[in-house]
Amino acid sequence: MPPVDTHHSIGDMATRPPVNAPVEYGNAASWWVEYPTGLVDLSRSKHLDDSASIPPSLTPGQLEIPVNGGRTIRVDTKATALVIIDMQNFFLHPDMRAHPKGLACVDPTLAVLPGLRAQGVKILWVNWGLTDNELQTIPPALVRGFQKSGAGGFGAELRGGWGRLLVRDAKNSALYGSLQTEYEKGREAGTDFWIHKNRMSGLWGYQSALDLFLKENGIKTLLFGGVNADQCVLGTFIDAYYRGYDCIMVEDATATTSPEGGYENVIYNSGNAYGFVTDSARIAAAASAH
């Protein structure tokens, strides 16, 4: 029996049937509209008209991206951001650990950047970057999780010139390989932003740097990638879902070191409970078509 390609089938395991008539979800301030054609309009540009049976025409500043489950989402590009989580040396560099699945996410991540930038989508690199003050407030469970045999952990000096573990501006905290160069290029162009986090979730706390940035810039829709899928990526994804952001997982731009089932669970629930799932090829094609 040939192996099953779970990477591209998990999200379609429980496909939601199409709606029979246009449906509006949400409230007066924040809403989606789904159409029998399979379009789910996340742009919040127009409430559903009782007489409408087909989607309104695509307008400048909007982008349509096919997603798993036979749907296409329409987004407002100025209110959309790509959130790339923890693609840092500590989690990806072969001198730090073996993470072949994480390394396989580098090219898909790079592939979507030009088109999304051209469409006005902001690129947010959300990374561990601790300060000495923050090191004093990290809870014991998190401290223990990053220690081995009761030693090392956050702020500890790493061998080989990598600097202190996940402290701001340390070499191990930099983005892996060409991702660092790509971020610097985007920073100079004003399209890319580096956002520090100090917990597994980039949205932990009453006012995180990421949440403040999203609110100040009117961001409503988030595309997610990074590592690890079932840890920091999922933590941020779930917190974004709880806060009312639109959440889309880019399935070939996220991975985990966890045993089989960890990644699959994330993809399944991302598409069937929390939001939507797509991939880098569909994003790049959609962005280049406009």
Strand duo 276-278 + 246-255: pairing: parallel
Quote the tokens at residue 53. 């049976």
Q: How confident is the model at residue 82 (pLDDT cuts 50, 70, 90)?
A: very high
Q: How confident is the model at residue 244 (pLDDT cuts 50, 70, 90)?
A: very high
Work out the mean pLDDT of the chain and round it to a whole number.
Answer: 93
Quote the tokens at residue 68. 């798993």
Class of residue 20 by CB neighbours under 10 A (exposed 0-12, middle 13-18, buried 19+):
exposed
288, amino acid identity:
S
Q: How confident is the model at residue 7 (pLDDT cuts 50, 70, 90)?
A: very low
Distance CA(138)–CA(235), nearest Å, equals: 16
Give CATH for domain 77-129+168-277. 3.40.50.850
What are the residue ranges spanned by the domains of the chain?
A: 77-129+168-277
Q: What is the pTM of this model?
A: 0.94
Q: Could you tell me if 125 and 87 are in contact, meaning their C-beta atoms sit under 8 angstroms apart?
A: yes
Tell me which residue has tokens 């500043």.
61
Q: How confident is the model at residue 148 (pLDDT cuts 50, 70, 90)?
A: confident
The predicted structure's pLDDT at residue 14: 60
Model confidence at 6: pLDDT above 50: no
Q: How confident is the model at residue 236 (pLDDT cuts 50, 70, 90)?
A: very high
Distance CA(241)–CA(18), nearest Å, equals: 22
C-alpha separations of 23 from 50, 155, 156 in Å: 10, 51, 53
